Amino acid sequence: MVFEFEFLNREKINSALPELFKVLHGNMSLIAPTGGTFEEDFTVWQEYMVTAVREERRQIVLMRCDGELAGYFQYDTGGGVFMMEEIQIKPQYQGNGMFRELYRWLEDKIPGDISYVEAYSNKDNLKSQGILERLGLECVGENRSGSSFLYRGSCKRLWENFK
């Protein structure tokens, strides 16, 4: 398997969002369904994403396996924190080493002044919580609505996990 990673060109955000949302929707409909229709959920998500990627510190990485879109990763860097906002991988590409390769690829792209890594995990997503704990992050709180846990750890330790 050949893995490729690239930053999403901000000028192409609108044309890329439908494919990215298919990946997200396929995963989240099993983990945390919203109760809305595909179209309703896409509209809400699209508005958020178009606004979010206007910030230079926020990036979306496209993940490909053998040339096919396998998923994406969205993150933000600011205030000394590498915030892992969203990682979505199609089920058929999970467990094949892509996640590890993504983090190896990312290491030299994250600013050197970042000390901490943070991520939220839906309280019902035990798989995500286990991954974050294996990466060395600890549960330190919740989001405002109480639906997700906040995890935090050392960015240096995160990179060491992937060497």
pLDDT tens per residue, range 67-111: 999 999 999 999 999 999 989 899 899 888 998 899 999 989 998
- Give the span between the Cα atoms of 135 and 131, in whole angstroms: 6
Q: 119: which 2 tokens?
A: 């991520």
What is d(CA 41, CA 57) in angstroms, rounded to the nearest whole number? 25
Q: pLDDT tens, 22-51?
A: 888 877 765 555 667 788 888 888 888 888
CA distance 154 to 137: 7
Sheet (strand 116-122) strand order:
3-7, 58-65, 68-78, 81-89, 116-122, 148-154, 138-142
pLDDT tens digits along 14-26: 888 889 888 888 7
